[in-house]
Structure 1
Amino acid sequence: MKVFDPFVSKYPPDNNLRKPTAETLEQFQGKVPAELLNFWQEYGFGNYGEGLLKIIDPTDYIDMLTLWLGEQEGCLPILMTGFGTLFIYRKLSDTADDMCLLDIHNRRSGSFSTSFSDFFERIIPAENFAAQFLRVGLFQEAFAKHGGLSENEIFFFAPALAFGGTESIQYIEKGNAVVHQHLLFEMGVDHSDDTEADDMWSQAYEANPHVFELDNGGLMVSFTLSETVDTILPLAPETMYEIEGETISLWALTFVSLTKDENLGFLEYRKALKQLQPYIVEARGDHILVRGLSLAEMEHILTEQ
């Protein structure tokens, strides 16, 4: 049995996989197992099992891995789930290796304490692997709602799990994997450490950026203001958040109704802040605190052009 036979049987390859270049194969010669190089040549990079798992080119994600974990000698990302969790090949010596993971949503990493071959032959085909790491049911719902994933796309949670989101279909969006992985890392900064327990700031929701690709290929970064929720917003998000190598075409604020359970619409960010002036409770440093707005107040702001 070949190392990848159980993987391919469990997660069939898509028809539009991308084959590695000769330069890529030469670059990773001796750095990853020969079986993986052969697999790249025979099948290619892209979606397997309709995107539940992706065989990835390490060069596309090595900078992201370094951002999250620092320099890791002998570590290369080779596999990714449809929700952006990275699986990392780690060469321990000339005769030993193992597999690790980086879970971007729960901000954790760890080792499977098993070899590369054992991981693909025994761990991945197991049903409990799919249940624990792939969110199969949620993936299928997201696939039905948002369509399939391209090679560089993942499903993600908006808001992020670490900032109030939940693992349910209404909070799932689709977008560029590297862009979202970068944003989740940047969103790990807590701006409310100095607040007291009974302080209104400590009880407020801190809005975080969500990235969307526009029809013209540009990127929109949006923050969310939810009905009745006291919210902390950045005064100048363009100075606080950036995506290396990417240009942000539009900064926006999205208004969400909890009673209607829908997005009411969005405004360009600077215009939104101007409209929100009567509802700002206080400014602290680079942030403002906006009191919770009623549905009527939100609808008034959106219609006040």
Structure 2
Amino acid sequence: MLENFKNHYHAEANNILASEELINEYKEKVPKLLIDIWTTTGLGKYNKGIIELINPKDYESNLWTWLGKVVENYTPFAITGFGELLYYRKLTETDEDICMIDIQYRKIETLVWSMESFFDDFLTNDEDKKMWLREDLFVEAISEKSNLQNGEVFTFVPILAIGGAEEIDYLQKGSACVYQDLVFQMTN
């Protein structure tokens, strides 16, 4: 299981395995597959941070802010290298999907219909990586601005919605949580 993901993505050395407390809190809210990743390769950056698996507790308030309400069956689980927030929706006992809040353009996109498809198909598809993860800009940013720490993303300054550009000269590093909140306030 997750052979494509394992072949394409590598956990950074400072990733942290999920605690028993975290596992117990989320084991009924997210698929076992995600719990397995949390307990084997951990929370943190993958491939230098083009994707980061996050502690949901750290990002729930941002998710509720962007959605405008608390939705108990939605769980934030990852961020992109540019701060987009990915969350899991448990729709029914058998139906689920993965959504992304595109903070730059205030859009919510449904990306795939299962957690397995997210890891094995979406994250390994070249077109999806270029479009949704801004892979080319990310690789250039890592090369010019060095690696990201856990919880850190490349920020557009100014943000794209108010005049920034998807170019290296418009990038800085910053806290993902703070950036998501700041972009929400500036574009609301």
TM-score normalised over the length of structure 1: 0.59
- Cα displacement (A) at 1:8: 2.5
The equivalent residue for 1:175 is 174
> Residue deviations 1:146-195, cap 9 Å, x none?
21001110001101101111111111000111011110011024xxxxxx
Match of 1:160 in 2: 159
Aligned equivalents of 1:7, 1:49: Cα separation in 2: 11
After TM superposition, what 4+ stretches of structure 1 lie above 3 angstroms from structure 2? none
Which structure is higher in RCO with an 8 Å CA cutoff and minimum separation 6?
2
The answer (yes or no) to whether the contact 1:106–1:161 under 8 Å persists in 2 is: yes
Q: Does residue 145 of structure 1 match 2:162?
A: no
Pairing 1:112-151 to 2, within 5 Å after superposition: 112-151=111-150
Please give the alpha-carbon distance, in whole angstroms, between the structure 2 residues aligned to 1:57 and 1:9.
24
The residue aligned with 1:28 is 26
What SS class does the counterpart of residue 15 from structure 2 fall into?
coil
Partner of residue 51 from structure 2, selected from 53, 60, 68: 53
The answer on whether the counterparts of 2:62 and 2:180 sit within 8 Å (CA) in structure 1 is yes
Distance in 1, matches of 2:117 and 2:15, equals: 25
What stretches of structure 2 of length at least 5 have no aligned partner? none
CA RMSD between the two structures: 1.2
Q: Secondary structure of 1:151's partner? A: coil
Q: How many residues align?
A: 187
Q: 1:66, CA displacement in angstroms?
A: 0.4
Could you tell me whether the CA contact under 8 Å between 1:74 and 1:90 is conserved in 2?
yes
In structure 2, distance between residues paired with 1:22 and 1:105: 35
CA distance in 2, matches of 1:34, 1:15: 23
TM, length-normalised to structure 2? 0.95
SS in 1 for 2:93: coil
CA displacement at 1:73 relative to structure 2:
3.2
- Cα distance in 2 for partners of 1:130, 1:73 equals 29
- 1:46-82 deviations in whole A, cap 9, x for unaligned? 1101111111111111110001112223111112110
- Among 63, 66, 71, the alignment partner of 2:64 is 66
- Structure with max Cα Rg: 1
Give the match's secondary structure for 2:98: strand
The structure carrying a bigger strand percent of its residues is 1
Partner of 2:12: 14
Percent identity for Structure 1 against Structure 2 = 35
- Spell out, residue by residue over 1:251-280, the C-alpha distance to the aligned partner (whole angstroms, 9 max, x if none): xxxxxxxxxxxxxxxxxxxxxxxxxxxxxx
8 A contact 1:91–1:98 mirrored in 2: yes
Instruction: Give the Å deviation of 1:113.
Output: 4.8
